[in-house]
Structure 1
Amino acid sequence: MSGAATSDHGFNPRLIAGVVAIGVIAFIALWALIALGPQLSSGNNGGGHALAKGAPGYAGIVDLLERAGAEVELRRTVESQSYEEYHPLLILTPTHRSRPEEISELIDAQSGGKVLIILPKWEVMTVPGQAAKPGWVGAGIPVTPSARLLPEALFGKVTVAAAPGKAAVVPADLANRVFSVTLPANVQTVKGEQLDVLIAGPDGGAVLARSREHDRYILADPDLINNLAFASRDKARGAAMLIDAIGEDADANALAFDVTLNGLGGGRSLLRFAFVPPFIGITLCLIAAGLLALWQAWARFGPALKPARAIPVSKAALIANSADLIKQARRELDGADAFVKSQRGAIARRLHAPSGLDDGGTDAWIDKHLPAGSDLFSALARRLPLARNTHEFLADAQALHDIRKDLLRDSQ
């Protein structure tokens, strides 16, 4: 058999406490990540939004604007953020699969504010046989988006088309600024009766258009400002001047890039509210209360009790069982003579009493060895068998035991 020590209660308390603590922390972390996952995500997934660093994304223009000192916000909610001295230009970057009602909700939340919609152009895919790098796109196919991305109630009836041709540099005159932008080959354009053309395309459509009734702008081709435009210095300069001119034309003092249309928003939910101010305080209090309840349960009950043996092992256990049996039978007083005899014999044997003495003579011989003024052994020996109750019996028996202990100098 192994000589290793075994636990008294089957499990190591520290191990179980560690497992419970890890489980609680993992459970809380799981729900926190579920609630806040979209907000904690870097967003560098190769999509066409402000957090993506791939070709269709807009991380380049965002970084350039921030370095230039512009106030740039990445908006993950549908709530309006327009204040008395804060009038941002909301930039929407829908995908081919975005729903018109989602776009309408974002625009309506601006309460008539300034909005720029950048239509999607590229459908990206992974090249078979090639390992995709994080944030990169394998290949892109230009796909003309549906006109449904521009709600008819807000922009009227519009059409979106691709104009075949070669890349060309065209002049732009916007907000009293004259600059050049590079139109890509197969440029996308938009047409509509309620739209004003700000930058014309080769087919008579508008690469950049504005609603006649509101400060709502449409950039039909994203290649003018996306990361693909940063392949050259001239394109990057044109992208920065284009965004700056649109913001000045709209009289906006900040830029807000929306990422909710790209699945990176933090929607309203009770689970999310539990981990953001002001309700994070209540959540922490509940967690602390749960931990205190676990600690109290652990301290109150402790490890499982080990069942005792039905019949204990040892001489002491045998004596205790015999005494308990005598007590249950109510025969304690019947053992007085035997107790006196055992004490007398032990003292006489240890002190070498003269042989031939009867019980009375032995008691008298023991009395001679006792200090003056103490209880006599002979008196206690006569009185103990006459005890009327257990209290008297125990008192005299204890006195006899004390005499033996004093004379023999032991604890028996």
Structure 2
Amino acid sequence: MSGARETGHGFNPLLIAGLVLTGVVAFIALWALVALAPELSSGNDGGGHALSKAAPGYAAIVDLAERAGADVELRRRVDFASSEERGPLLILTPKHDSKPEKIAELLARQNDRVLIILPKWQTLRIPGRTPKPGWVSNGIPIAPSGALLPEPLFGKVGVRAPGAKAQAIAAEVGGRRFSAYLPADAQVVDGDAIEPLIAGANGGAVLARAKKRDVYILADPDLIDNLAFASRDKARAAALLIDAIGEDADADGLAFDLTLNGFGGQRSLLRFAFVPPFIGITLCLIAAGLLALWQAWVRFGPALKPGRAIAVSKAALIANSADLVRQARRELDGAAAYVASQRSAIARRLHAPTGIDAAATDDWIDRRLKAEGDPFSALARRLPLARNKHEFLEGAQALSDIRKELLRDG
């Protein structure tokens, strides 16, 4: 025998309830993280966006602008254009594989004051050679396609990287003069629908503006990205460049878009379920599910253990047999058999003479009884003639008393 304590069910109810509750919470948390991961991500992945601390990122210019007291916003969702006369300078940092229609949508939502910084670096991280998390191991300069710039606004635009050495050139944007540090083989743009603001060393424009709107193009990101903060002079030039563009666009702050880099802005029913105003409906559904689970648990409880159809004992067997006789209404039919069973038990125990009939056996039993009370033979004749249950029970009880008196087994 194992000696294990026997219980009414195979499992601990509290343990099962804990497992179910943990599973429900984990399932909801998983889908919440899947839906909100782009908005909760730190973004330090080595890409070319405002959250990245790697060389092609813009975390340095963001930090510098905030320290200088500028109003800086990191946008994880697409906003409609403001109706106010002034607003922040929206800075778009597309990737090489960004969709032009997505850029066109952002430009359509923003009336003016937009700066598009074209991508330049294709980066990679080599395990064991990356100094810090979020940094990159190597980068390859690749000129992006001119299709990133919507043709209705900029016309036919070409992006190229003519051979030129790194140099500092004098620049003037928005009435402000400063020195711009051009890297080696700086990217430039060419087109008929744009006007150059800062010319490249060998033609083209490093910084240009659309002729129809105040939408600017910075062809080479190394003028303001984290790579530009390798020296104090280049960092100062980057800050002056951003400030001059904001002055020329009459902007009162900076807003770095992150949706083009995959951080927020996704339109999905899963995300809507965990953000206002639909988060209320989600919480109501979760509460309704938990209440339904609780109702089912309280109502039914653990599974019932089925009992045996026939209990294991002589008393149970006798009780079941008596119940069958009672249901069949044949109680009186067993009177003769009961008398015979009592006669046989007394004669066997008291060693009555063998070979005598029932009447002689009854007389033999009568001689061993006391004088008071009805003799066994009279009760044996009267019991089979009982007319109802009361008479039957009275006679049967008298025979049972005689047996107990003679056999001393009461």
The two structures share one fold, judged by TM-score above 0.5: yes
Indicate the residue corresponding to 2:120 in structure 1.
Answer: 121
Identity of aligned residues (%): 68
After superposition, residues 250-399 of structure 1 pair within 5 angstroms as 250-314=249-313, 317-318=316-317, 320-331=319-330, 356=370, 358-359=372-373
Residue 373 of structure 2 aligns with an amino acid whose one-letter code is D
Q: Deviations over 1:302-358 (max 9, x none)?
A: 11111111211346634542442342132567899x9xxxxxxxxxxxxxxxx9352
Instruction: Check if 1:224 corresponds to 2:223.
Output: yes
> Residue 188 of structure 1: CA displacement?
0.9
After superposition, residues 193-232 of structure 1 pair within 5 angstroms as 193-232=192-231
Structure 1 runs, 4 residues or longer, greater than 6 Å off: 333-336, 385-390
After superposition, residues 170-189 of structure 1 pair within 5 angstroms as 170-189=169-188
Indicate the residue corresponding to 2:73 in structure 1.
Answer: 73
8 Å CA contact 2:331–2:389 kept in 1: the answer is no
- 14-23 or 311-320, which moves further after superposition? 311-320
8 Å CA contact 2:43–2:52 kept in 1: the answer is yes
Q: Deviations over 1:94-125 (max 9, x none)?
A: 11111211111111111x22210000111112
Q: 2-side partners of 1:80 and 1:129: how far apart? A: 44
Q: 2-side partners of 1:333 and 1:299: how far apart? A: 50
Q: 1-side partners of 2:112 and 2:387: how far apart? A: 107
Describe the shift of the 1:226–1:131 C-alpha distance in structure 2 as closer, same or farther (beyond 3 A): closer
Residue 135 of structure 1 aligns with an amino acid whose one-letter code is G
The total of aligned residue pairs comes to 360
Indicate the residue corresponding to 1:88 in structure 2.
Answer: 88
> Residue 387 of structure 1: CA displacement?
9.5
What's the secondary structure of 1:32's corresponding residue? helix
Q: Deviations over 1:222-256 (max 9, x none)?
A: 00111111111111111112112111211112211
Describe the shift of the 1:323–1:142 C-alpha distance in structure 2 as closer, same or farther (beyond 3 A): same
Q: 2-side partners of 1:34 and 1:106: how far apart? A: 25
> Residue 35 of structure 1: CA displacement?
1.5
Describe the shift of the 1:28–1:387 C-alpha distance in structure 2 as closer, same or farther (beyond 3 A): farther
Q: 2-side partners of 1:57 and 1:298: how far apart? A: 54
Q: 2-side partners of 1:86 and 1:176: how far apart? A: 18
Indicate the residue corresponding to 1:10 in structure 2.
Answer: 10
Residue 78 of structure 1 aligns with an amino acid whose one-letter code is V
Q: Deviations over 1:152-203 (max 9, x none)?
A: 1111122211132222122222222222221111111112222222112101
Describe the shift of the 1:165–1:323 C-alpha distance in structure 2 as closer, same or farther (beyond 3 A): same
Instruction: Check if 1:50 corresponds to 2:50.
Output: yes
What's the secondary structure of 2:140's corresponding residue? strand
> Residue 42 of structure 1: CA displacement?
1.3
Q: 2-side partners of 1:102 and 1:8: how far apart? A: 63
- 31-40 or 208-217, which moves further after superposition? 31-40
What's the secondary structure of 2:47's corresponding residue? coil
Q: Deviations over 1:131-154 (max 9, x none)?
A: 685311110011111111112111
Describe the shift of the 1:299–1:175 C-alpha distance in structure 2 as closer, same or farther (beyond 3 A): same
Q: 2-side partners of 1:85 and 1:335: how far apart? A: 111
Indicate the residue corresponding to 2:156 in structure 1.
Answer: 157
Indicate the residue corresponding to 2:63 in structure 1.
Answer: 63
Residue 256 of structure 1 aligns with an amino acid whose one-letter code is A
Residue 58 of structure 1 aligns with an amino acid whose one-letter code is Y
Describe the shift of the 1:254–1:315 C-alpha distance in structure 2 as closer, same or farther (beyond 3 A): farther
Structure 1, gaps ≥5 residues long: 339-354, 362-384, 397-411
Indicate the residue corresponding to 1:135 in structure 2.
Answer: 134
Indicate the residue corresponding to 1:341 in structure 2.
Answer: none
- 84-93 or 262-271, which moves further after superposition? 84-93
Describe the shift of the 1:189–1:330 C-alpha distance in structure 2 as closer, same or farther (beyond 3 A): same
Describe the shift of the 1:358–1:273 C-alpha distance in structure 2 as closer, same or farther (beyond 3 A): same
Indicate the residue corresponding to 1:27 in structure 2.
Answer: 27
What's the secondary structure of 1:284's corresponding residue? helix
Indicate the residue corresponding to 2:190 in structure 1.
Answer: 191
Q: 1-side partners of 2:304 and 2:136: how far apart? A: 63
> Residue 299 of structure 1: CA displacement?
1.1
What TM-score do you get using the length of structure 1 for normalisation?
0.78
Instruction: Check if 1:100 corresponds to 2:100.
Output: yes
Structure 2, gaps ≥5 residues long: 339-368, 376-384, 395-409
After superposition, the CA RMSD in angstroms is 3.1
Describe the shift of the 1:81–1:71 C-alpha distance in structure 2 as closer, same or farther (beyond 3 A): farther
8 Å CA contact 1:48–1:58 kept in 2: the answer is yes
8 Å CA contact 2:174–2:245 kept in 1: the answer is yes
Residue 63 of structure 2 aligns with an amino acid whose one-letter code is D
